[in-house]
Amino acid sequence: MTEATRVRIAVDAAGTDGGAAVISDAVEQVLAGHADLGFVLLADPDQAAGLSSRLASERVEVRVCEHALPADMNAAGAIRRGQGSTMWQALELVREGQADAVVSGGSTGALMALSRHLLGTLPGVERPALMAAIPTLTHPVWMLDLGANIHVDARRLLEFAQLGHVTCQVLEGKAPTIGLLNVGTEPGKGPDVIREAARLIDEDSALDYAGFIEADQVFSGTVDLVVCDGFAGNVLLKSAEGSIKLLFASLQAEFRGSFCGLLARRRLKRLHDSLDPARHNGAPMLGVRGTVIKSHGGTCSRGFARALELAALEARKNLVDCLERQLLAGY
């Protein structure tokens, strides 16, 4: 495979809690399974040597940057002090056409601000939204927004539904059934903004709207896409992750050292693998002019590899171009 046909992913290598070990292990996993991928790792001076020694491949390039943004960096600080950082340099590679996608586990606020600043947004998009898959009884369900937009109006929720609709079509090959997160399923339930959003989504003939959905119904898999504001989405996502950890910690404590635990070990491992948040790590930042994936900063190498694979999938399928055509068609 030639350099010209290879999908190239820029990685903010300073954005994970696990540092060089997690990044290098994840890159090695993905390299082994995808011959069409190449990586540019943007590292701070303390990381660069370790990454170079761990990843001796002609498909991996390590570039040294001036500094890394701290995990608690806010949006304003990222704009003022971000130039020369690993995150800034990764996004610049996409802007300049030297990379097809960016993956970062750094500050969500900083990544949002720098993505808008360096890449710009698609037509009509004021603020991009974060979307991710969560496990359910039947199949992974996509949900947006996950924290990028705390306060939204009805028009913004309609935009989320449209962005999510196109993304599911491109990535999964089918139009999603959409549910709007609310405190009840009856038509009169919820605040005015949610009821107005329901009316707008229902009026869009391109969307398959199933109505309101409550938080506990999300995990039954009755819809393919859940739309909500960033506050509710982030709380629901973190609650789900915490519940999964509680479940498996309780099972481990109950079965540790027992014969029943030994018998059930294989099935419990299969269940753990299907529900493990690492398997669903990676949140596309929809609405910016480039493929940007937000990884959980505390994920393991398996989780970071999942984010890298998601970035590659979006780049291969030209998701950003599809979103732009859809948004332009709406004007």
Rounded to whole angstroms, how far apart are CA atoms 318 and 4?
Answer: 16
Q: Is 123 exposed, middle or buried, given 0-12, 13-18 or 19+ CB atoms closer than 10 A?
A: middle
In 3D space, the residue among 229, 308, 274 whose CA is nearest the CA of residue 12 turns out to be 308
Side-chain half-sphere CA neighbours of 71 within 13 A: 12
User: Can you give the residue ranges of every domain in the chain?
Assistant: 3-125+287-318, 129-277
In 3D space, the residue among 279, 308, 305, 287 whose CA is nearest the CA of residue 102 turns out to be 308
**H-run or E-run covering 225:** strand 225-227
Q: Can 3-125+287-318 and 129-277 be said to share one CATH topology?
A: yes
Q: What is the largest CA-CA distance in the chain?
A: 64
Q: Tokens representing 121?
A: 């947004």
Specify the pLDDT at position 224.
95
pLDDT, tens digit (0-9, with 9 covering 90-100), for 234-258: 898 888 878 877 877 787 777 777 7
Architecture of domain 129-277: 3-Layer(aba) Sandwich (3.40)
Specify the pLDDT at position 1.
44
Q: Tokens representing 204?
A: 């869009």
What is the Rg, in whole angstroms, of the alpha carbon atoms belonging to the chain? 20
The CATH number of domain 3-125+287-318, selected from 3.30.2420.10, 3.30.460.80, 3.40.718.10, 3.40.50.1980 = 3.40.718.10
* pTM attached to this predicted model: 0.88
* Residue segments in the chain with a per-residue pLDDT below the cut of 70: 1-5, 259, 261, 263-264, 268, 271-275, 277, 330-331
Decide the pairing of beta strands 225-227 and 141-144: parallel
Side-chain half-sphere CA neighbours of 108 within 13 A: 22
Specify the pLDDT at position 278.
74
C-alpha pair distances (Å), 331 with each of 57, 212, 319: 46, 27, 19
Rounded to whole angstroms, how far apart are CA atoms 86 and 16?
Answer: 12
Asked whether the beta carbons of 142 and 132 are under 8 A apart, the reply is: yes
Beta-strand runs (E) in 68-221:
101-104, 129-134, 141-144, 177-181, 208-213
**H-run or E-run covering 37:** strand 37-43
